Amino acid sequence: MTTTALDRSHDSARRSWVDSANDPASDFPIQNLPWGVFRDDEGGHRIGVAIGDRILDVQAAVLEHRLDGLSGVIDCALCSSTLNQFMSLGHESWSAVRHAIADLLDSESEPCESLLRPMEGTEMLLPADIGDYTDFYASRHHATNVGRMFRPDGDPLLPNYLHLPVGYHGRASSIVVSGTPIRRPHGQLKPNDGPPEFRPISLLDYELEFGAFIGQGNEMGTRVPMGDAMRRLFGVVILNDWSARDVQKWEYQPLGPFNAKNFASSISPWIVTLDALAPFRSHGPSRREDDPALLDYLNPVTEDVLDITCEVHLASESMRRSGQDPIRLTRGSLSDISWSFAQMLSHHTSTGCPMRAGDLIGSGTVSGTEKDSRGCLLELTWRGSEPVELPDGTQRKFLLDGDELTIIAYCESDGARRIGLGSCSGIVTPAS
């Protein structure tokens, strides 16, 4: 159990007047209160908070004075069409609003159904204008597996791996919200026995990841120290970094991923805040006895590991048509990664690189030590040599058109109410 400060908002006995939020299986009990942006009946974009199977219309709550006691600056941010302004206000403001919303939805308060709308049938949008996106490579199990496949003769981990969180600058414009179809891209590929070709890619893969949204950023020229890093993070989403392995193999040297990673990355619509995750934090990430000592600027000083369980499910088009359940490909935990979001943020800003509210950092593929905890098909099928059998009688080495990939994630801990991150899904559509 965490030693991070818990308060009344985490009380596992607390209940809401929204009945569905009290279902023990709900991802969104009153202890969670994740943030998103939905399309309203007039087509506008509004901030919402998930509660059970409903969405609290936050702007309506502000305008009807149901969230009193907050500053005018906070009220204004909550009536915006994205979460960027609210994210920029910092931890004290986020915490004040979390308590105000929990009080509004508490079973002891007067119900106000008119502030709610059903989640089902409501279109979710990207929760923030994502200015910049950086993807890391923080799972040593993933890095070791990939290293073994691509460099079978050497040390699978490159010399820098245990000294710094390796990452690359990604493409914010290609991030889409869960449910967006993923069109198979074209790319330049190099067959082993012929010249390069340009055609629809063959080796389409997913990557099981988490993303952390930056709340309060830093001025250019300043750094975010480890002791401050977790407080700068607004919250966490599920992230699927769709990847073109055949493009990646040909293009990645010497500058790293490019077109293999810039056609789509999906995120779940609800941002679960670091406050909501407080009961699910622990010390680490753990290092092995013979690992090199960390330089001081990367040494953990707070509980930076987030214990979030994740599962990947796959359903082919024919499975969905015949009503078959998806199969589970993977079950893992974000706590398995070797670099925390705090270390990623401290390292990212160690040069004075400015981060802004709404920037997103990805964890990199989350893999564990066991085969059923490998976070992408490249690892799970060992580059296609151990295909996955599907219940419709087909096999998968990589994703085919019509496949629907869904990642779910949740947190469980003794004494705490279970909370979930919802899901992140996408269906692969044919190349155009």
Contact footprint for Ca ion (CB under 5 A): 135, 207, 241
> Of these residues, 142, 169, 186, 283, which one is catalytic?
142
Residue with Cβ nearer Ca ion (207 or 336): 207
Residue with Cβ nearer Ca ion (241 or 246): 241
Question: Residue 92: exposed, middle, or buried by beta-carbon count in 10 A (0-12, 13-18, 19+)?
Answer: exposed
Instruction: Provide the minimum distance between the beta carbon of 361 and Ca ion in the complex, in angstroms, as a whole number.
Output: 11
Residue with Cβ nearer Ca ion (57 or 135): 135
Instruction: Provide the minimum distance between the beta carbon of 170 and Ca ion in the complex, in angstroms, as a whole number.
Output: 8
Instruction: Provide the minimum distance between the beta carbon of 123 and Ca ion in the complex, in angstroms, as a whole number.
Output: 27
DSSP 3-state of 244: strand
Question: Is residue 91 annotated as a catalytic residue, yes or no?
Answer: no
Residue 409 CA to residue 310 CA, distance in Å, equals 4
Residue with Cβ nearer Ca ion (261 or 397): 261
Residue with Cβ nearer Ca ion (135 or 246): 135
Strands (E), 18-80: 35-39, 45-51, 54-57
Nearest to 339 by CA among 135, 215, 164: 164
Residue with Cβ nearer Ca ion (249 or 320): 249
Instruction: Provide the minimum distance between the beta carbon of 364 and Ca ion in the complex, in angstroms, as a whole number.
Output: 5
Q: Are strands 45-51 and 54-57 parallel, antiparallel or unpaired?
A: antiparallel
| Residue number of the CB atom closest to Ca ion | 241
Distances from the Cα of 175 to the Cα of 45, 119, 267, 278, 294, angstroms: 18, 22, 7, 27, 32
Residue 346 CA to residue 352 CA, distance in Å, equals 10
Instruction: Provide the minimum distance between the beta carbon of 150 and Ca ion in the complex, in angstroms, as a whole number.
Output: 15
Instruction: Provide the minimum distance between the beta carbon of 430 and Ca ion in the complex, in angstroms, as a whole number.
Output: 24
Residue 185 CA to residue 171 CA, distance in Å, equals 15
- Give the side-chain half-sphere CA count within 13 A for 147: 15
Strands (E), 80-216: 116-118, 124-125, 133-136, 167-169, 175-177, 182-183, 186-189, 197-200, 204-205, 208-214
Residue 224 CA to residue 227 CA, distance in Å, equals 8
* DSSP structure class, residue 16: B
Residue 421 CA to residue 127 CA, distance in Å, equals 14
Q: Give me the active site residues, please.
A: 142
